């Protein structure tokens, strides 16, 4: 079995648990044209480049480069150590994340499972594909399991939310009622 096919299998046990939200799970598979794997005594880092595609439980992600860092255990001298847990995932360059009926695009996405959050930067946009709503801002922090997002804007780049149209709650200018008649003064 070649290394390119083996590594996604090794990574799937650690990555899918951090990204999965649906009850039915499937393995996380990462495809790319190139992979550079580096290990220390405590960490293993996988750098996927060129045409990176990730698919997993309720997740599709594409980007130019994906850096996955896992902790490792066991023999520190082993070429491929035993993966202990997923530490971080950093996607860079033309990032697109699809989950259910939501799509996020940005230049950089950091998945930090220890903090239960995802940080989107470099022109992030989140779209609700079901209703057409969008959110933009310089930095977005999404909190896992909280249904919460914080969008940090600045004066030169404010946050912006675009929602579907709502019906006019005012009155119709063409249907103005006639002005109330003023009673005439009584004559003696």
The CATH number covering residue 37 comes to 2.60.450.10
The residue range of the domain holding 51 is 3-165
- Does the residue 126 lie in any domain? yes
Backbone angles phi, psi at 77, to 5 degrees: -90, -5
User: 135 near 141, Cβ under 8 Å?
Assistant: no
- Does the residue 69 lie in any domain? yes
- Does the residue 114 lie in any domain? yes
Number of domains in the chain: 1
Query: How far is residue 70 from each of residues 3, 11, 21, 123, 174, measured CA to CA in Å?
Result: 17, 8, 20, 27, 66
Q: In the structure, what pLDDT confidence band is assigned to residue 165 with cuts at 50, 70 and 90?
A: confident
DSSP E strand boundaries for the chain:
29-31, 34-39, 43-56, 59-73, 82-99, 102-112, 117-121, 125-128, 134-136, 139-143, 148-152, 160-162
> Residue 4 CA to chain centroid, in angstroms?
25
- Running DSSP on this structure, what letter comes out for residue 157? B
- Alpha carbon distance 66, 51 (integer Å): 10
- Does the residue 88 lie in any domain? yes
Chain mean pLDDT for the chain: 81
- Tell me the pLDDT tens digit for each residue of 89-139: 999 999 999 988 889 999 999 999 889 999 999 999 999 988 889 999 999
pTM for the predicted model, two decimal places: 0.73
């Amino acid at each position: 079995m070649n290394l390119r096919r083996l590594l996604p299998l090794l990574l799937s046990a650690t990555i899918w648990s951090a990204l999965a939200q649906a009850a039915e799970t499937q393995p996380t598979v990462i495809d790319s044209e190139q992979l550079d794997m580096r290990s220390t005594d405590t960490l293993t880092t996988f750098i996927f480049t060129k045409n990176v595609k990730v698919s997993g439980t309720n997740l599709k992600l594409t980007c130019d480069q994906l850096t996955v860092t896992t902790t490792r255990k066991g023999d520190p001298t082993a070429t491929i150590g035993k993966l202990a847990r997923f530490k971080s995932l950093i996607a860079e360059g033309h990032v697109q994340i699809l989950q259910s009926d939501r799509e996020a695009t940005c230049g950089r996405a950091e998945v930090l499972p220890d903090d239960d959050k995802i940080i989107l930067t470099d022109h992030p946009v989140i779209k609700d594909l079901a209703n057409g709503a969008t959110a933009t801002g310089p930095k977005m922090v999404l909190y896992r399991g909280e249904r919460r997002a914080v969008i940090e804007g600045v004066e030169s780049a404010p946050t912006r939310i675009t929602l579907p149209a709502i019906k006019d709650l005012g009155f119709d200018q063409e249907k103005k009622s006639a002005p109330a008649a003023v009673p005439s003064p009584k004559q003696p």
